[in-house]
């Protein structure tokens, strides 16, 4: 399955939810996230431009990339968990091709999230792309 296909599948799950149900679902997803160890939460992994403290760690190689994420905000942590589900195991090229401005819409939650969170999510994808390019 491609990243876009995974995002479409996630979007279909969100289409069944209304209003606050989407936020409750994101909080539930945050609880599934393994997060990061305290030592991994540093300036190198920190995502700038997020309202809450948020981190991303990129591992792997050009053929298979894996990200781990964490945030102090449960909704953001849930959003990042979805991103992990969509991109983990995919190639560097596929991840670099993600449209960070449209990713939330592809996931089906774009209209449910504040502009600040949308911008923070786009910044997370930009950081992932930057780190992936170093692999």
CATH number of the domain enclosing 117:
3.90.1010.10
Domain range holding 73?
A: 3-133
Residue-wise pLDDT for 58-93, tens only, equals 999 999 999 999 999 999 999 999 999 999 999 999
Q: Which of 56, 26, 70 is nearest to 126 (CA)?
A: 56
Task: Determine phi and psi for 101, rounding to 5 degrees.
Answer: -75, -20
Residue-wise pLDDT for 32-59, tens only, equals 999 999 999 999 999 998 889 999 999 9
89 close to 66: Cβ distance less than 8 angstroms: yes
Total domain count, the chain: 1
Could you give the C-alpha distances from 14 to 11, 87, 95, 100, in angstroms and in order? Answer: 5, 18, 22, 19
Residue with tokens 């959003």: 79
Residue-wise pLDDT for 95-105, tens only, equals 999 999 999 99
């Amino acid at each position: 399955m491609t990243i876009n296909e995974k995002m479409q599948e996630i979007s279909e799950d969100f289409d069944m939810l209304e209003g606050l149900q989407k936020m409750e679902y994101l909080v539930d997803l945050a609880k599934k996230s393994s997060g990061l160890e305290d030592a991994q939460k540093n300036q190198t992994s920190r995502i700038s431009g997020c309202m809450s403290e948020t981190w991303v760690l990129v591992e792997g190689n050009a053929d298979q990339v894996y990200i781990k994420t964490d945030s102090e905000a449960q909704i953001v942590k849930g959003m990042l968990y979805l991103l992990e589900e969509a991109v983990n195991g995919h190639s560097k090229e596929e991840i670099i091709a993600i449209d960070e401005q449209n990713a939330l819409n592809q996931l089906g939650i774009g209209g449910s999230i504040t502009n600040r969170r949308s911008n923070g999510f786009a910044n997370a994808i930009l950081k992932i792309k930057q780190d992936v390019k170093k692999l």
